[in-house]
Chain A
Amino acid sequence: MRIMIVEDEALLALEMESELEAAGHEVVGLAAESKTAKELIGAAAPEFAFVDIQLLDGPTGIDVGRELASQGVPYVFVSGNLKRIPDDYAGAIGGIEKPYTVNGFQNALTYLVAYVGGMRGAQVPPSLVLASSAQAA
């Protein structure tokens, strides 16, 4: 998949990029704040995104998420505090809580790739919290 990473911690972003590439994905954009992130949605045409909530310009990840949802790009939040995600999950499939483990992240990734590919009913790994809309789907 063509994946965008929205994360203000450069080392976390870099490591996530390595992890995604090792799993055979292409990272088409990295953004540390909301303006760049929103521009990248159109410019880089990602098929999926990982979005941190707290970015360089504040808790703007939610806005970025809504923009992704409005453009039909599936995504998950990646945050130290999943309680900050609004009740409607801003259109996200779910959330991965920091600090995730290598295995936790890989399990979530496997599930998400299958989910975006249209597969439903697989067991949700504990490292991934699904939005209620995604649970119903």
Chain B
Amino acid sequence: MNDTQQTRLAREAGQRLLAEHMSEDPFAAAFKATRMPMLITDPRQDDNPIIFCNTAFCQLSGYSEEELIGRNCRLLQGTDTDPEAIAKIRQAIAAEADLSIDILNYRKDGSPFWNALFVSPVRNEAGEVIYFFASQLDFTNIKSKEAELARARHIAEEEVADRTADLTNALKAKTLLVHEVDHRVKNNLLTIASIVKLQARMSEDDTARKTLRSVLNRVEALSTVQRKLLNDDDVGHFDVADFAQELVHDLVSALRRSDIRVTTDLHEVVVPAAKASPIALVVNELIGDAVRRGLGDGGGEIHLEVRRLNGHFLIRVSDTVSPVEADREEQAFSAMMLETSARQLGAKIEKTVEGHRTDVRITLLVDEHKD
């Protein structure tokens, strides 16, 4: 069967179909006039040709009715039409089933358009499929908006990736800088301590040496704070118990006095970095004071407690020592250090002395400021 013959058969089938509907049939009129591109194919003819199509379809495809009648719908397919979509249409036709699918089609002039295709079999009274009805909808605009959105999203994502990389680098640089500064601070603190120690070594004057040792003691308390500050991942916070543990160990082991016994009851209390130094000095003065008063022959017991108590933070040092006459100047200086540091912290000092027993309680609110 040649092309002309096939076209003729398709045209005749279309005319038969029209003849079944009177010219005033509102359904046929609607089919012809609707802006929705539609066509009908005849599956009982060879290659399921188009036997009827409306003006809207001609406008969409760019083909004239003459060019379309007798042709299979695959003339709309082109280079970038998805073979999977074509296979689905073929399967739906073979299975005589409805199908709704988005497919890239081509106009007569070769320009592509996105087609929201709906194919549906039409059955006669016996239930046999006698036609396929297909409607098309050009959604190229929507598709290009989608592409535009995807492109915009892609650009935005790239921007985010760039910004994230920038921020990561900035953070890396900042971390490096913090570590560098921390390194310098540590070295400087140790250099300050070394200077004081060197001078104390060279000094022939007992009082000068004592004074230098007293200064060194406070410098070292602050050095220990600096060492503890950046050690954790939780930069900017400071565990007082951890600090107190090391301070006590340092101070007492250096005395080499088995008659001065130290007990501790330490619980983690984390404070903001800004409070670390005054708290460290408070602990340092309390222990130092007890040690100085207990440096006589009798020795004694020193107990250090660090914990939270009813929403407050408690540092308590109690000692039972055989008191000796401590250096008055040194004791006065230590008291001033303690009071000043406590004032900075807004802490309360309660001191009770009963016989040989001294009990000092320092209480402060820990989370009262967001430092």
Contacts and interface: CB of A to CB of B under 8 A. Distances in A.
A51 to B, nearest CB: 15
Chief secondary structure at chain B's binding surface:
helix
B239 interface: no
Contact of B250 (A12, A15, A80, A107): A107
**Chain A interface size range:** 20 to 34
Contact of A103 (B182, B183, B227, B250): B250
A64 B246 CA distance: 30
A120 to B, nearest CB: 20
Interface string B211-225: 000001000100110
Contacts of A125: 249, 253
B194 A126 contact: no
B193 A80 contact: no
B197 interface: yes
Interface string B231-259: 00000000000000110011101100000
Interface residues of B, number: 27
B191 interface: yes
B224 A101 contact: yes
A45 to B, nearest CB: 27
A18 B195 CA distance: 12
Contacts of A14: 194, 198
Contacts of A57: none
Given A97-B227, A125-B253, A126-B246, A15 B186 contact: no
B187 interface: yes
B189 A99 contact: yes
A98 interface: yes
Contact of B254 (A15, A97, A103): A103
Contacts of A101: 193, 220, 223-224, 250
Interface in A1-47: 9, 11-12, 14-15, 18-19
A137 interface: no
Nearest to A19: B197
A44 to B, nearest CB: 23
Contact of B187 (A12, A102, A126): A12
B191 A9 contact: yes
A98 B186 CA distance: 6
Contacts of B227: 97-100
Interface string B149-174: 00000000000000000000000000
Interface string B52-80: 00000000000000000000000000000
B182 A102 contact: no
B147 to A, nearest CB: 50
Interface in A90-105: 97-104
Contact of A80 (B187, B195, B224): B187
A12 B191 contact: yes
Contacts of B191: 9, 11-12
B253 A103 contact: yes
19 contacts: A11-B194, A11-B195, A14-B194, A15-B194, A15-B197, A18-B197, A54-B183, A81-B179, A98-B186, A98-B187, A100-B227, A101-B220, A101-B223, A101-B250, A103-B253, A104-B250, A106-B254, A126-B245, A126-B246
Interface of B: 179, 182-183, 186-187, 189-191, 193-195, 197-198, 201, 216, 220, 223-224, 226-227, 245-246, 249-251, 253-254
Interface of A: 9, 11-12, 14-15, 18-19, 54, 80-81, 97-104, 106-107, 125-127
